[in-house]
Amino acid sequence: MIPASRRRLVVLYVVVFAMVIALGGRLWYLQVLSGGQYKALAAANQTRNVVVPPVRGSITDDVGNKLVTNQTSLVVSVNMMTLSQTTSDDGASVLKRLAPLLHMSDKLLREKTRLCTKGVKQPCWPGSPYQPIPVSQSVSNQTALQIMEEPKKFPGITAQVQPVVDYPMPHGANPAQTLGYLQPITQQEMAKLHLPETGFAGEDLVGQAGLEAEYNKALTGKAGTKEVSVNAAGDVTGTVHETPPVNGDTLVTSLNAKLQGDVQNVLDNAVNKAKAVNSSVNQGAAIVETTSGRIVSMASYPDYNPNIWTNGISKSEFNYLFGTGSGEPILNWATQGQYAPGSTWKVTSTAAAVADGFSLNGTYDCPATTNIGGRSFANDGQPSLGAMSFSTALIQSCDTVYYDIAYQMWQNDDRKADYQANPNAPTQKMQQMELDWGFGKDTHVDLPEQSKGTVPTRQWLYWLWKDNAHKGQDWCKNGSQNGSYVQRIEWEDCQSGYVWEPGQAAIAAIGQGYVDVTPLQLANAYAALANGGKLYEPRVGEALVSPSGKVAKTIKPPVASHLPVSQNTLAYIRDALAGVISNPAGTGYPAFSGFPLSKVCVAGKTGTAQNFGKNASSVFASFAPCQDPKYVVLVMIPGAGYGADAAAPAVRQIWDDIYGLEGHKAAMPGGKVPSRLPSIGRQG
């Protein structure tokens, strides 16, 4: 029998042997089977990967003047994640110490560092909660040093030299809405674009509107990477590998800064003059476009200083930008505004009439009033002017000529289709011509924000009725057969809002009623009229130039379509529009009295669009020189009255600025655009 002490010793040997076997097996597993994996992990502990952001590309005008650029500045940023981990009050005490150094209140600093979530108003941080939040982008060296020398007092606070977007505004040019603006990228945008998170740097700012959004990828460039070695304390000891960033391209536009500044001043003065008479006027747009589809100037009233985006927007600035009372400066009214074009629309009505068989050389009566569908339509207070040609009807802007033609076309169109509630009803003849001129659809300009306007086709009327008869405006509930004027209209619309009525056809022929256009659509259509029928997709961008100074891409306005109008008809309309200004009976003659037409012949059309319960909108569309048109100039000011009173004088001043007439300095000497791209130097 084995003694108990010996048995215990044997058991102990067995246990020790098993432990040695297990330890050896584990050692073999770690060194042999998993050696490569742990070697890589150990190496990773000794190195760190750092994303090196690129410098965002600039935006210039047609001769190289910087419209948007980057300048280096000392930027103070707050890392709220670090503050929440290192302080017991989520960083409140640190922010309170920091605020006086940045010359701002503790309240404002706290607002700037809170996240923009539902119900949180500006100012707030719209970016990732894991990013350092820039709170001041123009601090002094002394302030930066004070912050960096006291890391215990200011944990999570950094002051670094970073590129900051700057808007130089050469010649006073400030096409803020056309340029757009930058904002920190969101987590969703980063995931969608597969971008690395770099902290507050160029990679994290994305274009949110205008050219900045449209050409964001090219302007942003490509981030680089740097692998650095670190010691046990986390200090960087050297660079292991580095892939330099590729800076963004420079966007050269067809905008001319000198002309842009002039056009903005002209528009501002015209709107302010109209506002002195009618205080409700608070919008306006002016466009200069070449007849080959390039935007040379685009002004929207009211404008704003885009530099407000670079240092955190305040609540009052936010309210101004988006407030209806201030005219919503954030919107580009040249591409997003939708207004009745008034008599500038008659060029499409003339083309439609001729295409439907009305003689281009015929005569048409211009009575003081005409009766259509049991309603009387007047010629804007004018007496009977007798029989006249299409040319005279355009020159004197006779409404009743176009009322009667539209009524005749309505009678001879598909009458059965007018009375059917059909979402696939055929388009009326006159409205099809308007669609063919680019109205009621995107212009496909290289700006992300644009409206389509309205061409009241039968299909459009059906959906208007469908969306408002029993929902939306709820005509059937709110209308009344014996109520107020508006209630009676709603009652009628409830019964037959999908019907294309003769009165609607008549009023649409002079650019009123349901008709709406954007200023850009109207300018683009007049460019097609002027150039012989080519309807372009307009472009603001002209070229992308790489950081090396080489042209990476040339941007040309593509031809969208050709107007379905004969060259003879287009030439006839162009000659008539020249008479609008040169003929003493023309509606544009008073505004251009004394203008040197012998130097630059200008053709154009006034538009006065009546709005129920509001003052009329003032519109003037023009092109020049008459026989070889190079430019289209358009001004539209809603609520400013007659086209000849507000818009036409503004257009005259813009032509003076383009060619250097009547004491003005020429923005485009000889009326010529630059023949070549500006020289863009190599970027650092």
Tell me the per-residue pLDDT of 420-432, one tens digit each, with 9 for 90 and over.
999 999 999 999 9
pLDDT reading at 499 higher than 90: yes
Q: What local confidence, expressed as pLDDT, does residue 545 receive?
A: 95
What does the pLDDT average to over 602-619? Answer: 84
Q: 78 and 203: one domain? A: yes
Q: What is the pLDDT of residue 128?
A: 67
- 321: which 2 tokens? 């930008």
Per mean pLDDT, which range of 95-109, 158-172, 323-337 is the poorest? 158-172
Instruction: Report yes or no: 295 and 540 within 8 Å, Cβ to Cβ.
Output: yes
Same domain, 222 and 265: no
The per-residue pLDDT for 241 is 79
* Residue 340, CA distances (Å) to 362, 386, 396, 510, 668 in order: 28, 27, 19, 9, 31
Burial letters 412-447, b for 16+ CB under 10 A, else e: ebeeeebeeeeeebebbbbbebbebbbbbeebbbbb
> pTM for the complete prediction?
0.83
Same domain, 649 and 559: yes
77-130 pLDDT, tens digit per residue, is: 888 888 888 888 888 898 999 999 888 898 888 888 888 888 888 778 876 676
Q: Are residues 222 and 296 located together in one domain of the fold?
A: no
- Angle between helix axes 257-277 and 647-659 (nearest 10 degrees) is 160
Over residues 341-397, the pLDDT tens digits come to 999 999 999 999 999 999 999 999 999 999 998 899 999 878 899 999 999 999 999
**pLDDT class of 684 with cuts at 50, 70, 90:** very low
- Does a structural domain hold residue 684? no
Number of domains in the chain: 2
Helix axes 399-412, 346-355, angle to 10 degrees: 40
Give percent above pLDDT 70 in the chain.
86
pLDDT of residue 257: 97
SS3 565: coil
Cis peptide before 302 (omega within 30 of 0): yes
- Environment class of residue 244 by beta-carbon count within 10 Å: exposed (0-12), middle (13-18) or buried (19+)? exposed
Choose one of 226, 243, 274: the last residue of a domain.
Answer: 226
Together in a domain, 275 and 222: no
Within this chain, do residues 74 and 113 fall inside the same structural domain, yes or no?
A: yes
Answer yes or no: is 413 within a domain. no
> Is residue 646 domain-resident?
yes
Structure-block tokens of residue 31 = 């060194």
Domain assignment present for residue 666? The answer is yes
Q: What percent of the chain has pLDDT over 90?
A: 59
Q: Are strands 236-243 and 534-536 parallel, antiparallel or unpaired?
A: unpaired
Task: Classify residue 457: in a domain, yes or no.
Answer: no
Q: What is the CATH number of the domain that holds 167?
A: 3.90.1310
**Could you tell me if residue 220 is inside a domain?**
yes
Residue 65 shares a structural domain with residue 198: yes
Distance CA 449, CA 468 (A): 26
Tell me what pLDDT residue 165 has.
83
Question: What average pLDDT does the structure give for the chain?
Answer: 88
pLDDT in tens, 514-530: 999 999 999 999 999 99
Q: Which domain holds residue 615?
A: 257-323+335-341+521-568+585-671
The pLDDT of residue 313: 73
Structural domain includes residue 297: yes
Please give the Cα distance from 410 to 423 (Å, whole number): 19
Instruction: Tell me the average pLDDT across 472-497.
Output: 91
Nearest to 354, CA basis, from 412, 407, 433, 418: 433
Q: Token digits for 283?
A: 């919008």
Instruction: Band the pLDDT of 182: cuts 50, 70, 90.
Output: confident
Question: Do residues 532 and 660 both lie within one domain?
Answer: yes
Do 196 and 65 share a structural domain? yes
Shared domain for 264 and 208, answered yes or no, is no
204: nearest Cα among 148, 108, 130: 130
Q: Please write the tens of the pLDDT for every residue from 221-234.
A: 887 777 767 665 55
Q: Is 391 exposed, middle or buried (0-12, 13-18, 19+ CB in 10 A)?
A: buried
Shared-domain flag, residues 217 and 73: yes
CATH number at 627 reads: 3.40.710.10
Does residue 544 sit in the same domain as residue 661? Answer: yes
